[in-house]
Structures are given as C-alpha cells and as structure tokens.
A = this chain, B = another copy of it.
Amino acid sequence: MTAMDSEKARAANWFRQLRDEITRAFEQLEDSHEMGPLSDFAPGRFDMEKTQRSSGDGSDAGGGEMCVLRNGRVFEKVGVNVSVVYGTLGETARRAVASRGVPGMDAGLEFWASGISLVAHMQNPHVPAVHMNTRMFWTPGTWWFGGGCDLNPSIEYEDDTRHFHATIKAHLDGHGDDQYPRLKKWADEYFHIPHRNRARGVGGIFMDDQNTGDWEADFALTRDIGKCLLPAYVPLVKRRRTMDWSESDKEKQLVYRGLYAEYNLVYDRGTKFGLASGHDANAVLMSLPPIAKWI
C-alpha cells in the first residue's frame, strides 16, 4: 500500500466541500422559515470552531472543524463536523477495528482518517432528526470507506420515510442495483438498539470497511451517500416545519432523544472510535441532543 497522498487529499477536500454545501442549505432553511412556529426567532447561523485530537505524546495528531447551529427557527441543534486525524492507533481503537476482522490491519499501527459527520435535532417535533456521515480510513496495510445516513422521527410519517428511502435508492442505483438493498439491510442491523429490541429510527443506509479494491468506485459510492442527504431530507423539513405542535408532541420528541443518546453512547462506532482515539470530546459528542428526557 502506498501513502495514497493524492487520494487522501481528494477525500478530505470532498468532505469539506460537502460540509459547505450542507451548511449553506441549512442556513437557507432557517432564512426561508417565515411562517409558522418559531418564525419570529432570528434565523439560526452556524458557528465554526477548530477541534484538536490529542495524540497523548504531544505529536501532531490532526483535528477538525466543528460547525454547530443552535437555537434556530428550524434547527434546535445541528452539528456538522469534518476532521482529518492521523498518528498511531491506541490499543482500544486498534482492538475496536481488529474485532471487525478487517484484513491488512496487522501491517502497522499508523493511521489516517478523514470524514464528515452530521446530526440534526429539530425544533419542531414533526420534523424528523437526521444523521449522516461518510469517512475514509487508511493504514499501511489497507484503506476503506464507511458511511451512512438514517432518519429519526419522533412522530412518524409514512410519506417522509418513503421519500427518504426513494431518494437514497435513486442515488445508489448507479453503483449497481444491489447497493441500496445491501446498505439498507446493513442499516437495519446497525441502527438497531438491542437493549430496547427496536430500531433507532426508520432506517436508511450504512456501510463500513468498504474496499472493493477499486478506490475510485468506492469513493464515488461514498460521495453519493453524502450527496443524497439534502434531496432526501430538505423536502421533509419544508413539509413539516410549519405544523403546530402540542406539549405532548414535544415531550415525545425529548424522550425519543433520550433513546437516541443511549444509542450513540452505547453502540455508535464513530463515537467509540472518537472517544478511544483522543479526539476532542465535544466534537465527538456533538451528536448528542440539546435537551433530552428519560421517563
């Protein structure tokens, strides 16, 4: 395996481009919300903060940019992180990867990883929460892509679920008819909460350890996972953001967010890897809801 410097740069740049496109579109959603609940608030804006990974030994370990929009008219809290981290895998992180049986992981502990990660928690409980992330991982013996997105409504609308899945499918079908079913099935398994014996939300797609040997094809697939977020999600926001909600709707949303936090803290691979590899905890846990309840 070469150092793949040009591939790494292309992937990292693309994650940043996607971040710019999404944050722009989300701020437009804030601007265009001129009627309905909370439209008298000021339109929300993203704040950007640099984040650092700590290597433990003082060497450069990379970092990222955390963009968060809080207390908007439409978004209660949405975070979009990008990062480029590198160094030597610690024991916990190495074991987490090795336990998945990724071949080539014994060629060395050096690593490089870059990705984008997004979670949106909404003001209006009729608007579903959403999650998306895509990433590239490199070690001296191998590389792979991972990523996915899933829809997390606290009040379910069949129409929304159908639109979300249809849009994703349309983006993936160009990579072969088997991709959407394969990645949907993986999401059904991955976004499952064993201790509650239920799905986290209404599904989506997920993949990890994606390496067909054809880096260009795998990168293209990864890009399409990222690209489908806006067309799959923005129409749902527009459709639901003007609906009135009751106190019990909001309560339902807060309790659902408790469940969401449980999933992320107990099972989510990105969270585990982030905490175990010393990345800025605020960036890793950006996905946690602004406020949540447990009954």
Contacts and interface: CB of A to CB of B under 8 A. Distances in A.
A84 B287 CA distance: 36
Contact of A289 (B196, B266, B284, B294): B294
A294 B286 CA distance: 8
A291 interface: yes
A133 B285 CA distance: 28
A293 interface: yes
A288 interface: yes
The size class of the interface chain A forms with chain B is 20 to 34
Given A291-B293, A292-B292, A294-B285, A265 B254 contact: no
Main secondary structure, interface of A, reads: helix
Which of A195, A258, A285 gathers most chain B CB within 10 Å?
A195
A275 B261 CA distance: 15
Contacts of A196: 281
Contact of A265 (B77, B266, B291, B293): B266
A208 interface: no
A284 B195 contact: yes
28 contacts: A70-B295, A77-B294, A194-B275, A195-B275, A195-B284, A195-B285, A196-B281, A254-B291, A258-B288, A261-B261, A261-B294, A262-B285, A262-B288, A265-B265, A265-B266, A266-B266, A266-B275, A285-B294, A289-B294, A290-B293, A290-B294, A290-B295, A291-B291, A291-B292, A291-B293, A291-B294, A292-B292, A292-B294
**In the A-B complex, the 6 residue pairs with the closest CB atoms:** A265-B265, A288-B294, A195-B281, A195-B275, A291-B293, A265-B266
Given A70-B295, A261-B294, A292-B292, 13 more contacts: A194-B275, A195-B281, A195-B285, A254-B291, A258-B288, A262-B285, A285-B294, A289-B294, A290-B293, A290-B294, A291-B292, A291-B294, A292-B294
